[in-house]
Chains A and B, each alone.
Chain A
Amino acid sequence: MIFLQQVINGLTTGMLFALVAIGYTMVYGIIELINFAHGDLFMLGSFYALTVITGLQGMGVSAAGLLAALPVVFLLSMAFCALLNVGVDFLVYKPLRRAPKLTPLVSAIGVSFVFMGIGQVWKGVYDLHFPDLLPNTNLLGEGASLRFTGKDLAVFLVTVPLMLGLSVFVRTTRLGKAMRATAQNPVAAQLMGINVNLVIGATFVIGGALAGAASVIYGLSVNTVSFQMGYQNGLYAFTAAVLGGIGNLPGAMLGGIVIGLIRSLGSQYVGEQWTSALVFAILILILVFRPSGLLGARTREKV
């Protein structure tokens, strides 16, 4: 029973990591940049949602009204993060597109610090309470030995459709296929008449929007946010992306779930203080045997 409970907990946090990991993996897939600021974008998204929700509370909106307004909060936060992400690409990464790979990478670390600084100025350095709007009741019945709460369900209701939607989008739409083509060979994509700058912009928009959605559902289910949450969760999400095979979309989803499970099972059976060490030890182990990650690209171009 405890095992099953930890599996539920692990899946729930894993889905959140997965949604953030997608942002890392998509950007890496297209321009080979580890966007270290992505986790902090996630943090700013939750701050923005917090501002919107407290603003609504200040206007006297009831708890039921807030719950009804949540879809709007999600959309606002997704738009906020999408714009911020594509804006940073335009101002910081785009001018460095032809520079050596290390230059935009170091710039991304810089943007991460700038975002954290903005977060500190915006909401201070202490942990903040994020309004507890979702029902924490056990959906399996109050007496049941397993807990699957309304919050857990909400996490799945947000993350699963977004991931499915994204998968369908990149498989079937014109822009989605152009994104995959650009990721696989940018020069060939240009020779096909694909406007690569547009594709890169779309990638930052989508990755940002997903981080925005993840940040709201994170706030609603964990109920604590701080300017450092982006660093911690971003690191796990980035690890998830590498574990699954960086640049690989299903890999990021799988990686997120695996890391969520390692964390929850590890804290149960190994010890809370060892979870981070365990996550990275397993990452190292997997990369030793599968350097390209669990689902990393295996097809080689033939000569």
Chain B
Amino acid sequence: MAPLLALEDVRAGYGPIEVLKGISLEVNEGEIVTLIGANGAGKTTTLMCVSGILRARSGRIVFRGQEIHGLPPDLIVRLGLSQSPEGRKIFPRLTVLENLEMGAFTRDDPAGVAQDLGRAFELFPILKERRSQPGGTLSGGEQQMLAVARALMSRPKLLLLDEPSLGLAPMICIRIFDVLRDLNKQGMTVLVVEQNARAALKLAHRGYVMETGAIVMTDRAAALLDDPKIKDAYLGE
């Protein structure tokens, strides 16, 4: 079966700086795949290329059998790909409820949206409590929950997550990762970028290791967790 998402030799950058020096990776339907690597390795850039915010300079990006390289971001969302971006990027002066509504912007089935809203509040009850509050007044952890819940509102086939654990208390990280595991069991495919390599590898089926704009290693997540080089460089053992 063809992968849900495939990147082939993707190159991208900002001005004269080339950040991605030919990235190839695949995400199969039903998988959780993680992309780990140090700060500045190009993980966020990779996700921004997939979402169409940054246009790749060359290479192919295929999602559900369709070339999406060069498509505007709103059309990519409509194809079933959504992202919870780095730094959460919630809308600070929209209420929690409005933030979630924006997540469902591309949909026109009010009944389905209402149902998914109910599910979001079930997953993260604190959001229900705070639904009339501006997003900017939430704590960091609550904002992260909101960013994940908002990305789910488009009912994506593939969910991209950028640093969902950044700056969060361990308890909240565990909560968010549990939710991701459950969603995956219900059939959602996930590509998660993380600096917290240990947590990400424990969650994922497979992993890619990125260094200065290139994929340097890929394997099953369990194998990467045991790899001495990975342990040394990313797991701090």
A299 touches B92 (CB 8 A): yes
A187 touches B53 (CB 8 A): yes
Q: Interface digits, A163-191 against B, CB 8 Å rule (1 contact, 0 not)?
A: 00000000000100110110011011111
Q: Which of A184, A189, A194, A196 contacts B93 (CB 8 A)?
A: A184
A69 at the interface (CB under 8 A from B): no
B211 at the interface (CB under 8 A from A): no
Please indicate the chain A residues that have their CB under 8 angstroms from the CB of B101 in the complex. Answer: 177
Interface size, A (range): 20 to 34
Please indicate the chain A residues that have their CB under 8 angstroms from the CB of B45 in the complex. Answer: none
A303 touches B89 (CB 8 A): no
Please, how many angstroms separate the alpha-carbon atoms of A192 and B93 in the complex?
16
Please, how many angstroms separate the alpha-carbon atoms of A301 and B87 in the complex?
9
B143 touches A181 (CB 8 A): no
B164 at the interface (CB under 8 A from A): no
A195 touches B136 (CB 8 A): no
Residues 60-78 (chain B) with a chain A CB within 8 angstroms: 72-74, 77-78
Please, how many angstroms separate the alpha-carbon atoms of A193 and B103 in the complex?
8
Q: Which of B74, B87, B102, B154 contacts A181 (CB 8 A)?
A: B102
Please, how many angstroms separate the alpha-carbon atoms of A303 and B98 in the complex?
21
Q: Which of A174, A187, A189, A303 contacts B140 (CB 8 A)?
A: A303
B106 at the interface (CB under 8 A from A): yes
A177 touches B102 (CB 8 A): yes
Q: Which of B103, B134, B151 contacts A299 (CB 8 A)?
A: B134
| Supplied contacts A191-B85, A300-B136, 13 more A-B pairs, CB within 8 Å | A178-B102, A180-B91, A180-B94, A181-B91, A181-B102, A184-B92, A184-B93, A185-B91, A187-B89, A189-B91, A190-B52, A190-B53, A192-B154
A-B contact pairs, 24 of them (CB 8 A): A177-B94, A177-B98, A177-B101, A180-B93, A181-B94, A181-B98, A185-B89, A189-B91, A190-B53, A190-B73, A191-B51, A191-B82, A192-B77, A192-B82, A192-B105, A193-B106, A195-B72, A299-B93, A299-B134, A299-B137, A301-B87, A301-B88, A302-B139, A302-B140
Q: What 3 A-B pairs have minimum CB-CB distances, sorted nearest first?
A: A193-B77, A299-B136, A193-B106
